[in-house]
Amino acid sequence: MAQQFGPELLIESRGPVRLLTLNRPEVLNATNEALHDALIRVWRHLAEDPEARAVVITGAGRAFSAGGDMGHFVELWENREMRRKEIDAAGRLLNEMLDFPLPVVAAVNGAAVGLGANLAVCSDIVLIAESAYMADPHVGVGLTAADGGAPTWPMLMGMLKAKEYLLTSARIPSALAVELGLANRAVPDAELLDAALALAAKLAAQPAHAVQTTKRALNMHLKRAVAGVLEYALAEEFASFDTPEHQALVNGFLERSRARAAQAPA
C-alpha cells in the first residue's frame, strides 16, 4: 500500500525499493511550498528505513515536474520571509540528495523543468521517457539558475554546453539529454517505470555497504563543485525575484493562462 508523505508526495514499498511519486498531477507536479518541504524531509525518512535499499523517483500523471508554481512566485514577491525560507530550503534539498546514502533512479516520465530537471539529474541514474524533455528556464523567467543548474550542470555536460542551455532556457529532448549527459538512456514511455524499478531492484541486490560508500565517494566530486557556487547563486536568485523583468514575465504568463482558461469550453 502507498504511504503518503503529505498528499503531495507518495512513498510505495516494492520489496527493498521505495517508489517516490511527486503527486500534484493537476499542475504537472509543479512544486509549491508543501511539496518542496516534503522533498527536503523525505530523504532522511528514507535513509532511516531499515528495509530500503534503493529508490525510484517519478511523477504522477503526464509530467515529472514542471518546476516552480508561477502563481506561488507572486506570493514570494511580497513575502520576503517566505522567500528566504524557500531559497534556503532549495540549498538544503540539493545537499540532502547529494548526502542521501541509497542509490536513486529517476524515471523521468514527462516534462522535467527547473527544479524538476534538477531533481532528476541529482539522482544517481536517470531513465527518461522518449517523449519527455528537460529544461532549466530560470533565466527565461528572470531568475538566477541557482538550485541545481548552475552548480551541477557543468559537471555533467561541460561548461560550454551548460552555459548554452542555462542561458537560453532551451528545451532538451530525451535523446539530446542522453547525449549531453543529463540522462543515462531513453526508454519507450510505456516501459519506463518497469525499467526503472527493475534497475533499482538490481541496485538493491548489490552489497549495501559497497554501493553506498561508492556513491558517497562519487558524490564528493559534485559536493566539491557545488561548494561556494550554490551559496552565491541562491543569494542572487533571492534578489532576482525583485527585478521588474522577472515580475513582468510571470505576470504575462499568468495573464495568458487566465485567458486560456476563460476561453476553454465549460
Contact at 8 Å (CB) between 22 and 42?
Answer: no
Whether the CB-CB separation of 249 and 141 falls below 8 Å is answered with: yes
Q: Which sequence spans correspond to the domains of the chain?
A: 2-263
What is the C-alpha separation between 162 and 207, in angstroms, rounded?
35
Cell of 32: 509549491
What pLDDT is recorded for position 1?
44
Tens-level pLDDT at each residue, the chain (266 residues): 456 687 999 999 999 999 999 999 999 999 888 899 999 999 999 999 999 999 999 999 999 999 887 888 899 999 999 999 989 999 999 999 999 999 999 999 999 999 999 999 999 999 999 999 999 999 999 999 998 799 999 999 999 999 999 999 999 999 999 999 999 999 999 999 999 999 999 999 999 999 999 999 999 999 998 988 999 999 999 999 999 999 999 999 899 988 888 887 76
Distance between CA 192 and CA 209 in Å, rounded? 28
Instruction: Give residue-wise pLDDT tens across range 17-44.
Output: 999 999 999 999 998 888 999 999 999 9
String of b and e for 71-105 (b: at least 16 CB within 10 Å)?
Answer: eebeebeeeeeebeebbebbbbbbbbbbebbbbbb
Provide φ and ψ at 144, rounded to 5°.
Answer: -70, 135
What whole-number distance in Å separates Cα of residue 139 and Cα of residue 56?
Answer: 29
Fold held by 2-263: 2-enoyl-CoA Hydratase; Chain A, domain 1 (3.90.226)
Query: Among all chains, which residue has been given the C-alpha cell 536517470?
Result: 126
